[in-house]
C-alpha cells in the first residue's frame, strides 16, 4: 500500500499566537535540520508533564536555574496577548480558532 504525501494545513490563528509559536521555535522548541526535527529532552519532559496535567494528573514544578528574565517576560506577555487576540477573533468570527 502506497501512502500519499502529507499535505500541510493552515490553522486559523490570531497574529500573536503565531508570534508566540515562532518565538518558541526560535528559542529551540524544535532542533535539528529541516525534515529531521526533534524536541530537546528538557522540553519533552515539560510537555510530558503538561500531558499529565491535561489528563487530570498533578505535577510538581521546580525551576532550580531560572532562564533569562527578559525572555521569560517577553514570552509571558506574548502568550497573554495571544489569548486575548484569539478570544477577540472568536467573538468576531464564531469559529474554532487555534490559539
What are the tens digits of pLDDT across the range 40-60?
A: 999 999 999 999 999 999 999
Q: Note whether residue 38 is domain-resident.
A: no
Helix (H, G, I), strand (E, B) or coil at 20: helix
Cα–chain-centroid distance for residue 21?
Answer: 5
Q: Note whether residue 83 is domain-resident.
A: yes
* pLDDT at residue 1 is higher than 80: no
Answer yes or no: are the C-beta atoms of 82 and 19 closer than 8 Å. yes
Q: Which residue range is the domain that position 95 belongs to?
A: 68-99
Q: Note whether residue 4 is domain-resident.
A: no
Taking the model in full, what pTM does it have?
A: 0.84
Nearest to 61 by CA among 72, 71, 77, 48: 48
Q: How many domains does the chain have?
A: 1
Q: What is the mean pLDDT of residues 62-71?
A: 97
* pLDDT at residue 64 is higher than 90: yes
Amino acid at each position: 500500500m502506497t501512502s500519499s504525501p502529507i499535505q500541510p494545513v493552515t490553522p486559523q490563528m490570531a497574529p500573536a499566537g503565531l508570534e508566540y509559536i515562532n518565538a518558541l521555535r526560535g528559542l529551540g522548541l524544535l532542533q535539528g535540520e529541516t525534515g529531521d526535527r526533534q524536541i530537546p529532552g528538557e522540553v519533552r519532559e515539560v510537555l510530558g508533564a503538561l500531558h499529565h496535567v491535561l489528563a487530570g494528573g498533578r505535577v510538581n514544578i521546580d525551576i532550580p536555574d531560572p532562564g533569562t528574565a527578559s525572555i521569560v517576560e517577553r514570552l509571558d506577555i506574548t502568550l497573554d496577548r495571544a489569548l486575548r487576540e484569539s478570544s477577540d477573533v472568536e467573538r468576531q468570527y464564531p469559529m474554532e480558532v487555534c490559539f
